[in-house]
Chain A
Amino acid sequence: MATHIARLLQGDKDEWDEFVDRFTPVIWAAVKGSIFAHAGSVNEEDVRELVQSVFVRLVAQEFRLLRTYDPARASLVTWLTIVARSAAIDSLRRRRLQVVPLDERAMDPPAPEAVSDSGIELPGNLLSPRQKLVLHLLCDDGMETSEIASMLGVDAQTVRSTIHKAVSKLRKHFKIRSLNPSSGGDVSAGLCV
């Protein structure tokens, strides 16, 4: 694949045609699926235009975007799906801005920050990033274990096991702290919320 990409980046027309034959169904599915997920319906003409815009992005400025793809890190299918989804979401966002009148736009609340304020620092990295993420998705976002599993690309049992391990660590941590008068009390008081 790396050889094909290298030739394509040199402007080889045959390589480009082969690339289009191979990956148009990937980009088509990603654009169509993303629009459907966000708008609830799909206009095929919109999908056609968006797929073409993805290809335009890929070839623009002598394949500037395509040059950022690293075959050693991920498959081209995954990378193109990300690029196609991003193009579709951007387009929906722009369209929404065009439709909303200017005065309403001014009244819009500011876009939610990409960052929430649920920062947590536990001593000595008590929980792994994955354990913290799973607890966040379960407790803050209200996701089901099957949804978390789907998002992380693991099975539901792995998620349940991750929760179990995290709870064990936290239980132990707060129990130790509860023996210390400055720790803020017994954890059992807040267990059945």
Chain B
Amino acid sequence: MTGSRDEFREARALWKRVKDNAPQGDRSACPGPGDLAAYLDGAMRGAQRGGIEEHLRFCPPCVEAIAGLRVLLRAGPSPAPSAVFERAKGLVAAPAAGERRINGVIALRHLFSLMRTSAAWAAAAALIVAACAAGFMMGQETTAPAQSGQAPVSELGAHAPIISEFNRLEQQFLKGDPS
């Protein structure tokens, strides 16, 4: 019968017999916190778990540790005095004034970077304006005799796409979108 007193007695006798005829077994090093945690959480299977359990057979301190840890884990957390929290929090300091200056430098770099992008857009815009102005002047020179008396706004007609593109770029620039 499974788990009967007789079976346990038989188990002891057989186990003694096994030990009496046995050579030295595995004497591997004790598992570290990572392996122990994985074993306790049931994350180990097969050979990994077998390796730990093989070790446990030869290491009473590890058996005691695992039994004790199971008890602690079952009991769960318990409330601690507030002073304990505050003291532990003090181990990692909030950014000091010097560190804020460093943060300020990083922020300035960000700003310069933005300005570089902005400067590129400003240069592009200036080129477009210059191109428009040059085109406008040339148009005036070639068409002035024939178109004298016409409203100046109609003379911009040929350059309207450029001006429209400029306006679009200008709007993007003002919105800060470099695409």
* Contacts from A to B (Cβ < 8 Å): 11, 13, 16-17, 20-21, 24-26, 28-30, 32-34, 37, 44, 48, 51-52, 55-56, 59, 68-70, 73-75, 77-79, 81-83, 85-86, 112, 114-122, 128-130, 132-133, 135-141, 145, 147, 150-151, 153, 157, 160-161, 163-164, 166-167, 170-171, 174, 184, 187, 190-193
Contact = CB atoms under 8 A, between A and B. Distances in A.
8 contacts: A13-B95, A21-B85, A29-B72, A34-B72, A85-B72, A129-B50, A135-B15, A190-B13
A78 B37 contact: yes
A115 B37 contact: no
B89 A16 contact: yes
Contacts, number: 225
Interface residues of B, number: 74
B9 A191 contact: yes
Query: Main SS of chain A's interface residues?
Result: helix
A35 B97 CA distance: 41
Interface string B64-90: 011111111101111111011101110
Interface string B41-60: 11100000111111011111
Given A28-B84, A167-B14, A133 B93 contact: no
Given A85-B68, A147-B67, 12 more contacts: A13-B92, A24-B88, A73-B37, A74-B37, A114-B62, A119-B25, A136-B57, A151-B63, A164-B7, A187-B17, A190-B13, A190-B17
